[in-house]
Amino acid sequence: MAFSRDYTNKWGPQHQTLSADQSSLTIWLDKTCGSGFKSRKSYRNGYFAARIKLPAGYTAGTNTAFYLSNNEAHPGFHDEIDMEFLGTIPGEPYTLQTNVYVRGSGDGRIVGREMRFHLWFDPTADFHHYALLWNPDAITFFVDDVPIRRYERKSELTFPDRPMWVYGSIWDASDWATDDGRHRADYRYQPFVAHLDRFTVAGCASRAPPSCRPVPASPAGAGLTPRQYAAMRWAQQSHMVYYYCQDYRRDHSLTPEC
CB 133 within 8 Å of CB 139? yes
- Is residue 156 annotated as part of the catalytic site, yes or no? no
Which neighbouring-strand residues pair with 237? none
Query: CB–CB of 148/232 below 8 Å?
Result: yes
- Among candidate residues 80, 152, 156, 257, the one labeled active-site is 80
Nearest to 241 by CA among 64, 67, 25, 92: 92
Q: Distance between CA atoms of 63 and 87, rounded to whole angstroms? A: 6
User: Which DSSP string corresponds to 173-237?
Assistant: -TTTTTGGGTS---GGG--EEEEEEEEEEEEEETTS-TT--PPPSSTTSSS--HHHHHHHHHHHH
Distance of CA 149 to the CA centre of its chain: 12
Strand partners, 81: 68, 100
- Residue 257 annotated in active site: no
Active-site position among 84, 92, 152, 156: 84
- Dmax over CA atoms of the chain, in Å, equals 53
- State whether the Cα torsion 74-78-82-85 is positive or negative: positive
> Would you please indicate which residues are annotated as catalytic (active-site) residues?
80, 84
